Amino acid sequence: MSDHPSIALIGECMIELRELHHGGLSRGYGGDVLNTSVYLSRLMGADATIRFTTLLGEDPFSLEMLTTWESEGINCDTVGRLTGRNAGLYFVRTDKIGERTFHYWRGQSAAREIMGSDWADLRAHAMGSDWIYLSGITLAILDDPGRERLLSELAVARKRGTHIAFDGNFRPTLWTAPADAAPWHSQVWDLSALALAGVEDEATVFGDATPEASLDRLRDHGITEIVIKRGPQSVLLHADAANQYIEVIPVGNVIDTTAAGDSFNAGYMAARLKNRAPAEAAHIGAMLAAEVIQHPGAVIPPSYMPTLL
């Protein structure tokens, strides 16, 4: 890996409205790929260029997001702003037993237009990075022609030497049925050098009976480095042609598991970009995720970031 790698992370960030106990609302911003971008930027600091690749709208919230990302050290030269559109929005409701439900207003969000012809130069810049990271949600928000275009641009980038990392994050509300996601996920897996998969997402989309079955299926795509995250259970890792189970960090007081997988991915990739071995990278990912789930929300205050690298 080069001394100063560049990583472009393609996704959507939305406005988050969270209902409070007394009926009020708090406002934040969130999105799976953005969460990974923030944590990766914090971990890599000046040692890498971390690009978030997205479209924002002309609303004031979009501008505030951009300012926040820049303050996190994220490179925003592949962030476009689309006139006539706004950022997407979701509402988080917590019921009496602490169960959260998510409701989305994202059908017209700016980020959905990222594969449009107006943004070809922005995408070409992102695709020139050493690594491209995306998730199943990146695919889910696009229409079929947008997905086709993304796949062909990823294939060209890969031929030129760009590595692709994919987390098959699956949100049922964004697809008509899990089976609709499967062919698109499969095509990204075909192009991926690194799989950062969640056990439930893989089982839902592909019907895998066990984590080991998911791993074997991902190996069939030719992927040589595979991580299967299993919540509080050990991580299943395939690297250097061998399988291993890496224990996660026990957490007694889980506050909010939002972004557990996203932060794990950032810890894992940062460690690998710094030439740490895959097993150590999985441990580092688990350490960051263990801290993140002890705080509310997706992105923890910088002062709580553990020293990992």
Residues marked active site are found at 262
Does the protein bind ligand ADP through residue 293 (CB under 6 A)?
yes
* Closer of 72 and 201 to ligand ADP (Cβ): 201
Angle, alpha carbons 254-167-273 (nearest 5°): 90
Distance CA 168, CA 137 (A): 8
- Quick one: CA torsion of 182, 87, 9, 104, rounded to 10 degrees? -30
Does the protein bind ligand ADP through residue 251 (CB under 6 A)?
yes
Least distance CB 144 / ligand ADP (angstroms): 25
Least distance CB 90 / ligand ADP (angstroms): 17
Least distance CB 263 / ligand ADP (angstroms): 7
Distance CA 109, CA 185 (A): 22
Does the protein bind ligand ADP through residue 134 (CB under 6 A)?
no
Pairing of strands 233-239, 242-246: antiparallel
Residues facing residue 104 across a β-bridge: 90
Contact between 219 and 226 under an 8 Å Cβ cutoff? The reply is: yes
Q: Read off the tokens for 110.
A: 């700016």
Distance CA 86, CA 65 (A): 12
Least distance CB 232 / ligand ADP (angstroms): 4
Does the protein bind ligand ADP through residue 294 (CB under 6 A)?
no
Site string for ligand ADP, 167-206 (x = CB under 6 A): -------------------------------x-x------
Q: Which of 34, 55, 289, 298 binds ligand ADP (CB under 6 A)?
A: 289
Backbone angles phi, psi at 28, to 5 degrees: -140, -165
b/e code 180-214 from CB counts within 10 Å (16+ = b): ebbebbebbbbbbbbbbbbbebbbbbbebeebeeb
Q: Read off the tokens for 278.
A: 């895959």
* Closer of 8 and 260 to ligand ADP (Cβ): 260
Site string for ligand ADP, 210-249 (x = CB under 6 A): -------------------xxxx--x------------xx
Site string for ligand ADP, 259-288 (x = CB under 6 A): -xx--x---------------------x--
Site of tokens 């595979």: 226
Does the protein bind ligand ADP through residue 257 (CB under 6 A)?
yes
* Closer of 79 and 264 to ligand ADP (Cβ): 264
Does the protein bind ligand ADP through residue 30 (CB under 6 A)?
no
**How many residues in the shown chain lie near ligand ADP by CB under 6 A?**
19
* Closer of 183 and 232 to ligand ADP (Cβ): 232
Distance CA 217, CA 197 (A): 12
Does the protein bind ligand ADP through residue 290 (CB under 6 A)?
yes
Least distance CB 264 / ligand ADP (angstroms): 4
Contact between 217 and 186 under an 8 Å Cβ cutoff? The reply is: no
Q: Which of 146, 134, 84, 74 is nearest to 110 (CA)?
A: 84
Least distance CB 154 / ligand ADP (angstroms): 21
b/e code 36-61 from CB counts within 10 Å (16+ = b): bbbbbbbbbeeebbbbbbbbbbebeb
Per CB under 6 A, residues contacting ligand ADP are 198, 200, 229-232, 235, 248-249, 251, 254, 257, 260-261, 264, 286, 289-290, 293
